[in-house]
Amino acid sequence: MSQSTITIVKNTDKKQKPQSKDIAFGRTFTDHMFVMDYESDKGWHEPRIVPYEPLTLDPAAMIFHYGQTVFEGMKAYRTEDDRVLLFRPDKNLERLNLSSDRLSIPPVDEEKVMEYLVELIRLEQDWVPSFEGTSLYVRPFIIGTEPSLAVAPSKTYKLMVILSPVGPYFKGGIKPVQINVEEQYTRAVKGGTGMAKTAGNYSSAYQAQAKAYKEGLADVLWLDGIEKRYIEEVGSMNIFFKIDGEVVTPALSGSILKGITRMSIIELLQKWGIPVSERRISIEELYEAYEEGKLEEAFGTGTAAVISPVGELNWLGRKMTINDGEIGSLSQKLYDTITGIQRGSVEDAYGWTVEV
Amino acid sequence: MSQSTITIVKNTDKKQKPQSKDIAFGRTFTDHMFVMDYESDKGWHEPRIVPYEPLTLDPAAMIFHYGQTVFEGMKAYRTEDDRVLLFRPDKNLERLNLSSDRLSIPPVDEEKVMEYLVELIRLEQDWVPSFEGTSLYVRPFIIGTEPSLAVAPSKTYKLMVILSPVGPYFKGGIKPVQINVEEQYTRAVKGGTGMAKTAGNYSSAYQAQAKAYKEGLADVLWLDGIEKRYIEEVGSMNIFFKIDGEVVTPALSGSILKGITRMSIIELLQKWGIPVSERRISIEELYEAYEEGKLEEAFGTGTAAVISPVGELNWLGRKMTINDGEIGSLSQKLYDTITGIQRGSVEDAYGWTVEV
Ligand SMILES: Cc1ncc(COP(=O)(O)O)c(C=O)c1O
Ligand SMILES: Cc1ncc(COP(=O)(O)O)c(C=O)c1O
């Protein structure tokens, strides 16, 4: 059972929109948000757009104790001719339900939530910035709200969508990053929650992140939790390597997030006739390829940066400098193509964009 | 920097206290709660006891997105002569800081928080029920509150303590439980957050719990995430086996919670001269012992039940019935001793109890 008529309560006290492109990530929010509730006997109900405002929850609400929550992240882009585009939002909603399934959260109706999303972004369209590289970040999330300390799924939930204008990921052009191969900490393991976009996967990485920062490195490359050999992904990006002309990315092992940028890149490469394989790849294999001069490019992929070239990998003190620390030509071409499609300057031959 | 003068705002609108011993776990809360805030430049500050009331948080508060949170669970017991005792609360606060360290949360001053705890429970002492088997459950928890979507530790936190009167764990005497050995899902792995009491570890278990319930079993026995062979712990209990006269419990591998009941049982057994070892034990070894008739007793240990005898283990359809499905004599003796100490009817030779 679920109801689809959306109520809108307009905010009369509008905030000032950021005036420059240097907007810190995820700190400014728009005037409205979307909220919908779930109760066992009513299903998802009362979809509404309301002023962005604090949430009131019982201190015993389950989200605070047992972490039953999932989220998504996507972006709305402004085109040169002033349209607003979303990039494959259906895939985000599909993944939201996939994550919810792992966390025992009831699924949402993807088509209806898509309508609600579009309605919210349409209402807030003036918040979609127009500077090169900027966008409106869209954050749907679901939290268990039942006030109970029993270790069991919540009987009530809240789905919320908040919007945040964000600046360009790379200020002053793409900068390849240096990344630490993490040997001590583990992000996820087969049978765990690694394939779900759920809160606990992220804060559990802070210790490893801090270690990397201390060494002047920007992020962490995770290895599998079982053998600590097979490459998984970066903090919040999937990872690709170009080795001897072939593009390789770790297969979806059950502990890796199924990135939408990852999926799109694989599809583009296939279309272009560039060999690409999803398979297990060990850090030893990568190091060997590096020593033989066959590691041509490496890049992370995700909604935030689209493509983030990796200039250097640090594996137990052994440094692999990739493509002289510069962005590779394939990485650049993928970046240009995807950002072009997202901003409407490259033809969308795949039906990936949805106009708001 | 931290301030220790506590402010108390009394609740004038007192709730009705439960009148029977059949109180559902974690659904009723007392009239007051403890709150303290953290800011980078002020440290933990403004400790206060206030009426139990909803929490107001920005929808972007980090707890909702990246799960930076830890908690504890302990109990206050009413003795026959009407005193109120806590059981080893110093160990809970020590573990709180251990968990916080893993989650990049700033530590609290354990001694001060102990004072605050005692002050709160003293104020709420009429809420400590007196029926056999009942107690006042004490739930301290810390949440990251900064409104920011950056994947990084929060700059602000809230520590809260809420109290909930709870009924006896076993209604009508101890009942041995049937437990499923989980082969598909994983709770935790070396390098992860298994040794921390943090939200994400609990909701990630719901799928496995549901599988067990479906088969009419009460809980899940987790195996290690790497080889899926070594026994770790039960849902929210550590696990012990008596094999051929020796008591065995899985060693603290880094993925198991360091239970305070577990610790106390090991100390008691050592005192009593009963052989006890903390070591790796595989499910195959256990099954072999069972087949040879050497598996004499099995029990889970935790604050909730103290001792929860395991009457049957289900491992891939193979059933191990333990001690004819009855509580064993050692389990019973441990239960009587610990609950006796907790309720002041057995002499506390170890200095484990703290009077409120
Ligand atoms: C852990 C993790 N891996 C990979 C990604 C990349 O996924 P996507 O391309 O869908 O943004 C993200 C970010 O969403 C992530 O959080
Ligand atoms: C995962 C887990 N293991 C074990 C325990 C038992 O620990 P304790 O004896 O300190 O209650 C708990 C409960 O606190 C728990 O949550």
Q: Is residue A160 domain-shared with residue A202, that is, in the same domain?
A: no
Q: What angle do CA A200, A204, A205 make, to 5 degrees?
A: 125
Q: Is residue A13 domain-shared with residue A138, that is, in the same domain?
A: yes
pLDDT(A158) > 90 = yes
Separation of CA B149 and ligand 1 centre (Å): 14
Domain finish residue from A132, A166, A200 = A166
Q: Is residue B222 domain-shared with residue B158, that is, in the same domain?
A: no
**What confidence tens digit (pLDDT) does each residue in A307-352 have?**
999 999 999 999 999 999 999 999 999 999 999 999 999 999 999 9
Across the interface, of A33, A55, A207, the residue whose CB is closest to B57 is A55
* DSSP per residue, A184-244: S-----TTSSTTS--THHHHTTHHHHHHHHHTT--EEEEEPTTTS-BEEEETTBEEEEEET
Residue with the nearest Cα to atom 15 of ligand 2? B236
Measured between beta carbons, which residues in chain B are less than 8 angstroms from residue A190?
A: 186, 225
Q: Is residue B244 domain-shared with residue B338, that is, in the same domain?
A: yes
Separation of CA B88 and ligand 2 centre (Å): 14
Query: Which class for B56: exposed (0-12), middle (13-18), buried (19 or more C-beta within 10 A)?
Result: exposed
pLDDT(B1) > 50 = no
pLDDT at B131: 87
Structural domains in chain A (count): 2
Ligand nearest the Cα of residue B304 is: 2
Separation of CA A243 and ligand 1 centre (Å): 23
Q: Is residue A73 domain-shared with residue A142, that is, in the same domain?
A: yes
Helix (H, G, I), strand (E, B) or coil at A30: coil
Q: Is residue B125 domain-shared with residue B211, that is, in the same domain?
A: no
> ipTM above 0.85?
yes
- Report yes or no: B178 at the A interface, CB cutoff 8 Å: no
pLDDT at A4: 63
Q: Is residue B18 domain-shared with residue B148, that is, in the same domain?
A: yes
**What confidence tens digit (pLDDT) does each residue in A212-234 have?**
999 999 999 999 999 999 999 99
Lowest mean pLDDT among A73-77, A252-256, B17-21: B17-21
Q: How far is B294 from chain A (nearest CA, A)?
A: 31
Separation of CA B261 and ligand 2 centre (Å): 8
* DSSP 8-state secondary structure symbol assigned to residue A307: E
The answer to whether the CB atoms of B144 and A190 lie below 8 A apart is no
Q: How far is B197 from chain A (nearest CA, A)?
A: 10
B355, part of any domain: no
pLDDT at A253: 87
A2, part of any domain: no
Across the interface, of B147, B191, B200, the residue whose CB is closest to A198 is B200
Ligand nearest the Cα of residue A94 is: 1
Helix (H, G, I), strand (E, B) or coil at A283: helix
Across the interface, of B143, B150, B189, the residue whose CB is closest to A186 is B189
Long-range contacts of B282-288 (CB under 8 A, 24+ apart): B282/B229, B282/B230, B282/B231, B283/B181, B283/B223, B283/B229, B283/B230, B283/B231, B283/B315, B284/B229, B286/B231, B286/B241, B286/B243, B286/B313, B286/B320, B287/B315, B287/B318, B287/B320
Lowest mean pLDDT among A24-28, A125-129, B192-196, B348-352: A24-28
Measured between beta carbons, which residues in chain A are less than 8 angstroms from residue B66?
A: 199, 202-203
A251, part of any domain: yes
Cβ neighbours, 10 Å, residue A89: 26
pLDDT(A1) > 60 = no
> Which pLDDT band holds residue B20 (cuts at 50, 70, 90)?
confident
**What confidence tens digit (pLDDT) does each residue in B184-211 have?**
999 999 999 999 999 999 999 999 999 9
Task: Report whether residue A308 contacts ligand 1, using a CB cutoff of 6 Å.
Answer: no
* DSSP 8-state secondary structure symbol assigned to residue B237: B
Of A303, A307, A341, the one to substitute when testing ligand 1's pocket (max ligand atoms within 8 A of C-beta) is A303
Return mean pLDDT, chain A: 95
Reading the block at residue B292, the tokens are 């040879």
pLDDT at B4: 63
Q: Which residue of A has its CA nearest to B224?
A: A226
pLDDT at A2: 46
Cα–Cα distances (Å) from B284 to B230, B306, B316, B322, B324, in that order, read 9, 27, 12, 16, 21
**What confidence tens digit (pLDDT) does each residue in B121-150 have?**
999 999 999 988 899 999 999 999 999 999
The mean pLDDT value for B81-91 works out to 97
CA R_g for chain A: 21
Note which residues in 9-68 of chain A have CB less than 8 A from chain B.
24-27, 29, 33, 52, 54-61, 63-68
Residue with the nearest Cα to atom 7 of ligand 1? A259
Read off the CATH number of the domain in which A41 is found. Answer: 3.30.470.10
Task: Report whether residue B124 contacts ligand 2, using a CB cutoff of 6 Å.
Answer: no
Ligand nearest the Cα of residue A151 is: 2
Q: Is residue B79 domain-shared with residue B215, that is, in the same domain?
A: no
Q: Which residue of B has its CA nearest to A151?
A: B202
The mean pLDDT value for B233-258 works out to 96
Q: Is residue B155 domain-shared with residue B182, that is, in the same domain?
A: no
Measured between beta carbons, which residues in chain A are less than 8 angstroms from residue B72?
A: none
pLDDT at B356: 94
B329, part of any domain: yes
The answer to whether the CB atoms of A102 and B193 lie below 8 A apart is no
Higher model confidence: residue B24 or residue A57? A57
> Which pLDDT band holds residue A70 (cuts at 50, 70, 90)?
very high
B184, part of any domain: yes
End-to-end CA distance of chain B: 27
* High-pLDDT (> 90) share of chain B, %: 92
Are the CB atoms for A9 and A48 separated by under 8 Å?
yes
Domain finish residue from B145, B166, B187 = B166
pLDDT at B253: 87
Nearest to B48, CA basis, from B108, B123, B136, B116: B116
Separation of CA A292 and ligand 1 centre (Å): 30
Higher model confidence: residue A171 or residue A134? A134
Q: Is residue B82 domain-shared with residue B222, that is, in the same domain?
A: no
Ligand nearest the Cα of residue B307 is: 2
Sequence-ordered list of residues with C-beta below 8 angstroms from that of A187, at least 6 positions apart, any chain: A194, A201, A204, A205, A208, A222, A225, A232, A233, A255, B192
The mean pLDDT value for A102-130 works out to 97
A270, part of any domain: yes
**What confidence tens digit (pLDDT) does each residue in A264-302 have?**
999 999 999 999 999 999 999 999 999 999 999 999 999
Read off the CATH number of the domain in which A296 is found. Answer: 3.20.10.10
Q: Is residue A162 domain-shared with residue A218, that is, in the same domain?
A: no
* DSSP per residue, A158-187: EEEEEEEEE--SSTTS---EEEEE-SS---
Q: Please give the residue range of the domain that contains residue A241.
A: 177-342
- Report yes or no: B236 at the A interface, CB cutoff 8 Å: yes
Note which residues in 240-299 of chain B have CB less than 8 A from chain A.
none
Return mean pLDDT, chain B: 95
* CA B150 distance to own-chain centroid: 31
Reading the block at residue A156, the tokens are 């009530």
The mean pLDDT value for A76-95 works out to 97
Helix (H, G, I), strand (E, B) or coil at B89: helix
Q: Is residue B46 domain-shared with residue B16, that is, in the same domain?
A: yes
Domain finish residue from B166, B191, B223 = B166
Separation of CA B57 and ligand 1 centre (Å): 26
B43, part of any domain: yes
